Structure 1
Amino acid sequence: MPREWEYETLRPPRGATQKEAEDPKEALNELGAEGWELVDTIDYADGGTKFLVLKRPVER
């Protein structure tokens, strides 16, 4: 049987300028401890990351 996945998105935290994202390491480590794995990013057309996409196996 194929494995089922659930997905989560995380918006990188922004600094005061709203241009450069702050380091999301703390949030990623928390999600990693819950079994989430970073699998992709969704980027703005003119550059910069809008969302981080994570997945983990569905627990049944």
Structure 2
Amino acid sequence: MLERYQAEGCPHGETVRETLTDLGSEDIIPFLVDADREETLYESEDIVDYLEEHYA
């Protein structure tokens, strides 16, 4: 499995993401790790709900 980390707004990371998408990588999945709460989430809607519940 590929793991990709990127700083928000980084043009170099964006280039890598676009290349992976072009190659049809299925590993482009929204994934959140909250080490403080020992939570991991995959689905984008779940991540947004979680962030709004715990950090808004």
User: Fold match, TM over 0.5?
Assistant: no
Higher strand share: 1
More helix by share: 2
Superposition TM-score, scaled by structure 2 size: 0.38
